[in-house]
Amino acid sequence: MTSLAHERYCDEIALQVGQLRAVVTSGADLAVTVPTCPDWTLEQLVRHTGGALRWVELLVRTRAQENIPDEEIPLHGGPEAEGDADALDDWLAETGRMVVDTLREAGPDTGVWAWAGDLNSGFWARRMAHEITVHRADATLAAGLPYEVAPEVAADAIDEWLEILVWAQRVEGDKDAAELRSSGRRSIHLHATDDPAGVNAEWIIELAEDGLAWHRGHEKATVALRGTLTDVLLAFYRRLPLDSEELEILGDRELLEFWLEKTSFG
């Protein structure tokens, strides 16, 4: 599928950083456990997200041809003071400016190391746009705040995740991805019932013996997951439980549960 324009990803990163900063400065308890990432507090989640942005900024700015370890990234872990919302906000603001400026300057085609897909700065602009989009959902859920995302960004986040899974099936040693292969053809239909902005927000995912395949469209499938585009995105990234009243599941629920079990990011 066609991804968004490079400048659109840069704009989205800037927007998402601003929205994440709003969570940090909302008065939310930074020590609260994040329900969707229970190993982290809200502050640890924010530090992780900002650290990922700083990592990418350094990769792209230096045109790195191999990975850069965390200890070589200035202020990767965030400000020294813990529990200080103002310090965390200032660090995140600087981080956002740095990565967006660097990605804009590089454009989409600058060669740089990446762990999947195209080895260029465009890969990282797209990846970071969706990294922060999903982690901002984690943060807003932890803080008890509402969550919204632009429909074209939500749809592209699902596209990107499916592309990563197709890539993972080709990587020797990725056991979970390999287990998605099926001796009998089975399929999953993701159906956004609102389809805001007419982004054709329906997906057919086919699990077959020769590997995973997917396309946008409306077809009968082994199981269907229905809800608004935002809720489908959150469920697909395991941020919204399948039992949520916002979702409707038609068909073989066990197949959908199996899919989610085997497609955990990282």
pLDDT digits (tens, 9 = 90+) for 3-45: 899 999 999 999 999 999 999 999 999 999 999 999 999 999 9
Residue pair 199/152 in contact by the 8 Å Cβ criterion: yes
* Partner residues linked to 248 by β-bridges: 226
223-227: strand order across its sheet? 211-216, 202-208, 186-192, 223-227, 248-251
Share of the chain above pLDDT 70, in %: 97
Model confidence pLDDT, tens digit, residues 197-217: 778 899 999 998 888 899 999
For Cα atoms 149, 15, 50, give the angle at the middle one, nearest 5 degrees.
Answer: 105
pLDDT band at 172; cut points 50, 70, 90: low
Q: Can you give the pLDDT at residue 195?
A: 76
Q: Can you give the pLDDT at residue 1?
A: 43
Give whichever of 58-62, 184-188, 260-264 has the largest mean pLDDT: 58-62
**Mean pLDDT, rounded, for 140-164:** 95
pLDDT band at 196; cut points 50, 70, 90: confident
Topology (CATH level 3) of domain 151-262? Nonspecific Lipid-transfer Protein; Chain A (3.30.1050)
Topology (CATH level 3) of domain 6-143? Four Helix Bundle (Hemerythrin (Met), subunit A) (1.20.120)
Q: Can you give the pLDDT at residue 209?
A: 84
Rounded distance, CA 194 to CA 56, Å? Answer: 34
**Mean pLDDT, rounded, for 140-165:** 95
pLDDT of residue 173 exceeding 70, the answer is no
Rounded distance, CA 51 to CA 102, Å? Answer: 15
**Mean pLDDT, rounded, for 249-255:** 96
pLDDT band at 218; cut points 50, 70, 90: very high
pTM of whole model > 0.75? yes
Q: Residue 128's closest CA among 171, 160, 152? A: 160
Model confidence pLDDT, tens digit, residues 53-84: 999 999 999 999 999 999 999 999 999 999 99
Domain boundaries, the chain: 6-143, 151-262
